[in-house]
Amino acid sequence: MDGRTFAIDLVRRSHEWAERYVAQEYGRIRARLRARGLIEYCRSLMWREYMVGVHVPAKTLVLLPDDAQDLKLLLTRQLLEEWKHSQVFAERVRALGGDGDLARYAPTPGDWELYYGTYNWSHPVELVVSLQCTGEVMITEMFKTLVDPKRLLVDERTAAVIREQILADDAQALDSLVDPETARRLEEDVIPDEGQHIRYGRVILERYAASAEAQQMALHVQQRKMAALQVSHGDLVDRVLAYEA
Ligand SMILES: [Fe+2]
Ligand SMILES: [Fe+2]
């Protein structure tokens, strides 16, 4: 399979997986992200956007060869935008009454699982599959769902589950899961960039995953990353729900 077809197919698989996974997590988090739970969520995202979003593209940029300046420029743009995302979450933490100082945040085992599951690869193909082509597909789906849970109703099978399990006992099930200002910042300052980052990863993958060996390596990393995402994201949802209790 040529690199471009392979890359498009790999990202498509991430989208299909992310839609299923986010729909399942949405069922758990429907009690809403409020008060301390929302602050905890935003603090973790402040750390993740910086640690994963900035460090991983920086590592990829250094590993790419000198003849890939066009790709290095895309990664530079990405890491600046990820720093901005980290600051968006820090601002929301402070506005909600929490500690928005990145240096004082104590990462949980789930945060580290996500970081090491993304950073600890040594080839650019592995790094972009892990971050842009799998992780960012999932986080974009999650952010979009937090802003507008109605998007889950496009898929009839998921819609049926939500109607049965959620709508029956929760009249606000289709309202935004976060407060209006956090939803606005996600929609305006975060989600549009994430779509571009997925594309950057696909373009890099296209160029370096032309051989059967590279494609095997990419598929292996995608599987590993989906598992790391379930651990790290499940941990985050558990933490939010602990505050709701
Ligand atoms: Fe981001
Ligand atoms: Fe991103």
Confidence category of residue 27, pLDDT binned at 50, 70, 90: low
In CATH terms, the fold of domain 3-244 is Heme Oxygenase; Chain A (1.20.910)
pLDDT of residue 37: 87
How far does the centroid of ligand 2 lie from the alpha carbon of residue 136, in Å? 6
Task: Give, as one character, the DSSP assignment of residue 154.
Answer: G
Q: How many helices (H) and strands (E) does the chain have?
A: 10, 0
Q: Of 223 and 174, which is predicted with more confidence? A: 223
Give the number of the ligand closest to the Cα of residue 194. Answer: 2
pLDDT of residue 245: 55
Cα 220 to Cα 242: distance, rounded to the nearest angstrom: 33
Sign of CA dihedral 73, 76, 82, 88: negative
pLDDT of residue 234: 87
Q: Of 168 and 78, which is predicted with more confidence? A: 78
pLDDT average, residue stretch 220-229 = 94
- 3-state secondary structure at position 177: coil
How far does the centroid of ligand 2 lie from the alpha carbon of residue 137, in Å? 9
How far does the centroid of ligand 2 lie from the alpha carbon of residue 79, in Å? 8
In the chain, the largest separation of any two C-alpha atoms, in whole Å, equals 58
- Look at residue 233 and tell me whether its pLDDT is greater than 60: yes
- Look at residue 119 and tell me whether its pLDDT is greater than 70: yes
How far does the centroid of ligand 2 lie from the alpha carbon of residue 119, in Å? 14
- Look at residue 34 and tell me whether its pLDDT is greater than 80: no
CA 214 vs CA 71, 131, 229: distances in Å: 18, 16, 22
Locate all alpha helices (DSSP H) within 30-135, ordered by sequence: 35-63, 69-95, 109-119, 124-130
Give the number of the ligand closest to the Cα of residue 78. Answer: 2
Give the number of the ligand closest to the Cα of residue 84. Answer: 1
How far does the centroid of ligand 2 lie from the alpha carbon of residue 83, in Å? 10
How far does the centroid of ligand 1 lie from the alpha carbon of residue 171, in Å? 31
Task: Please classify residue 108 by burial: count the beta carbons closer than 10 Å to its beta carbon, then call 0-12 exposed, 13-18 middle and 19+ buried.
Answer: middle
| Ramachandran angles phi, psi of 212, nearest 5° | -60, -40
How far does the centroid of ligand 2 lie from the alpha carbon of residue 61, in Å? 15
Confidence category of residue 213, pLDDT binned at 50, 70, 90: very high
pLDDT average, residue stretch 115-133 = 97
Q: Residue 3: CB partners within 8 Å, gap ≥ 6?
A: 205, 206, 207, 208, 209, 210
How far does the centroid of ligand 2 lie from the alpha carbon of residue 197, in Å? 5
How far does the centroid of ligand 2 lie from the alpha carbon of residue 143, in Å? 11
Helix axes of 136-147 and 3-29: crossing angle, nearest 10 degrees: 40
